[in-house]
Amino acid sequence: MINLTHSCLLSNNVEKMRQFYADLLGFKPQVDNQGYAEFQMDGRSVLSIFDISVHNGMALEPAKVSGSQNIILEFEVSGIEVEYRRVEEMGVKIVKPLTTQAWGNTSFWFRDPDGNLLNFYCKENSDKKESLSCCGTDCSTCDCFSDICEGCNQSEGKVFHSPEGCPIYSCAKKDNAYKNCGECAKAPCSIWYDTRDPKFSDEEFEENIAGRIDALNK
């Protein structure tokens, strides 16, 4: 059995690359030594940055830093539009804007400080699933989504209309560790009714609940 476990970037400026990837990934390297940094991506893969002068002192043949010519580092993300804006705000040069490919994935390309090409992508319909809150509401249909609110999942229930935290999210995710309310036999429960949007008539609210239950069951 052969497993690909590490992707190592050789660099002349480990400090700059370390900071870039810490900002990009949202966490500090788990291994952080002089001339070497290692980011644990999940339970199986590691992205590391290694000082090229140290590497060349160990290797039989010297390497050189020239930016990626034959390889792309690809990262699956959720909330692709949010990530696109975040990377832009970092001042990173986008080399391919947000694009939906023929096979359904949506992605954009950019480069790290050494010129390595990176691809952030989400699979077909993954953003739709990510925008579905634990109560079955599709946050992406809200006028406030992306502009002033990241949605229930991204904000961990602290949405714009409930900055202290949505009681439905707290009950499902925090108190009961459910993936969503669809795993609860009591749904729709009294909390759903207590958090009813006042703009709904009784009939509209019942239709809203039916739609949310249906979305959770898909």
Question: What values do phi and psi take at 35, rounded to 5?
Answer: 85, 0
Would the CA dihedral through 169, 170, 171, 173 be positive or negative?
positive
CA-wise closest residue to 83 among 44, 56, 122, 57:
122
Return the DSSP state at 192.
Answer: H
214: Cβ contacts below 8 Å, ≥ 6 apart: 136
CATH 3.30.720.120 positions along the chain are 1-65
For residue 85, what is the enclosing H or E element?
A: helix 80-89
CATH topology of domain 1-65: 3.30.720
What pLDDT is recorded for position 111?
94
pLDDT value at position 54? Answer: 86
* Mean pLDDT (10-residue bins), the chain, 218 residues: 88 94 94 93 86 79 64 88 91 91 87 94 64 82 74 80 84 85 89 87 89 84
92-121: b (≥16 Cβ within 10 Å) or e? beeeeeeeeeeeebbbbbbebebebbbbbb
Reading the block at residue 148, the tokens are: 């002033």
pLDDT score for 75: 94
Q: Which residues contact 216 (CB under 8 A, 6 or more apart)?
A: 132, 135, 136, 180, 181, 182, 187
Residues of the chain with CATH 3.10.180.10: 68-131
| Nearest-angstrom CA–CA distance, 50 and 36 | 5
* pLDDT of the residue at 62: 63
Report the CATH number of the 68-131 domain.
3.10.180.10
- The helix (H) or strand (E) run that includes residue 8 is strand 6-11
Which residues, in sequence order, are CB contacts of 91 under 8 Å at separation 6+?
none
Contact 8, 29 (CB under 8 A): no
